[in-house]
Structure 1
Amino acid sequence: MIKKLVLFTLFFQLWGCGLATTRPKLEMSLAQVAFLAAKEAKAQTLSPGVFRKAEFYYLKAKSSYRRKYFNKAKQYAILSKKFSEKAEFIAIRKQTLENL
């Protein structure tokens, strides 16, 4: 009886730990949209260094998410969004300055 109680308690403790980490769906979606917007702004040619960082972190976020490392995936997605937005801004600024 005690053995069953210990197993039952252990099972629910481990199950509860899995619920503590949530999937970073919003962060992944925002990172994807920002990355695609940077790509559409031709940041890969107008701001290649920053765009490369954004792509690196985006791919790391997707890989971590697939492996269920949700904390890492969230961190990488936030970094990807940051660099994607920066690359898009630089690309749009360069395009605007060329048209003046």
Structure 2
Amino acid sequence: MIKKVLISLIFIQLWGCGLATTRPKLEMSLAQVAFLAAKESKAQTLSPGIFRKAEFYYLKAKSAYKRKYFNKAKQYAILSKKFSERAEFIAIRKQTLENL
């Protein structure tokens, strides 16, 4: 009887810890959309350095999310979004200046 109670308490504690951190679904979605937009604007050829940083952080965010390190995944997703948007902006700016 005591063994069942202890197992139940341990299970409840472990289950409760998993609920303490929320999944960064919004941040991951925004990072994915920003990364794909940068890729679509040909940022990998027009601003390769910043695009590589965005890709690096996006892959790190996906990896951390799969391993359930949600705090790290959120941080990496925010960084990926920042660098993706910057790479997209630079790529669009270079395309516009070439057409003048």
Same fold (TM over 0.5): yes
CA separation in 1, counterparts of 2:59 and 2:90? 21
Partner of 1:67: 67
Deviates more, 1:27-36 or 1:3-12: 3-12
Aligned residue pair count:
100
Matched, 1:34 2:34: yes
**% identity of equivalent residues:** 88
> How far off is 1:79 after superposition?
0.5
Aligned structure 1 segments of 4 or more residues deviating by more than 3 angstroms: 1-7
Give the residue type in structure 2 aligned to 1:42. Answer: K
TM-score by structure 1 length? 0.91
Partner of 1:17: 17
TM-score by structure 2 length? 0.91
CA separation in 2, counterparts of 1:15 and 1:63? 22
CA separation in 2, counterparts of 1:70 and 1:4? 31
> How far off is 1:56 after superposition?
0.3
Partner of 2:81: 81
Q: Unaligned 5+ residue runs, structure 2?
A: none
> How far off is 1:71 after superposition?
1.2
> How far off is 1:4 after superposition?
4.1
CA separation in 1, counterparts of 2:2 and 2:62? 43
Q: CA RMSD in A?
A: 1.3
> How far off is 1:66 after superposition?
1.3
Q: Unaligned 5+ residue runs, structure 1?
A: none
Cα distance per residue 1:50-76 (max 9 Å; x no partner)? 000000001111111111111111111
**Per the alignment, in what secondary structure is the counterpart of residue 22 of structure 1?**
coil
> How far off is 1:22 after superposition?
1.5
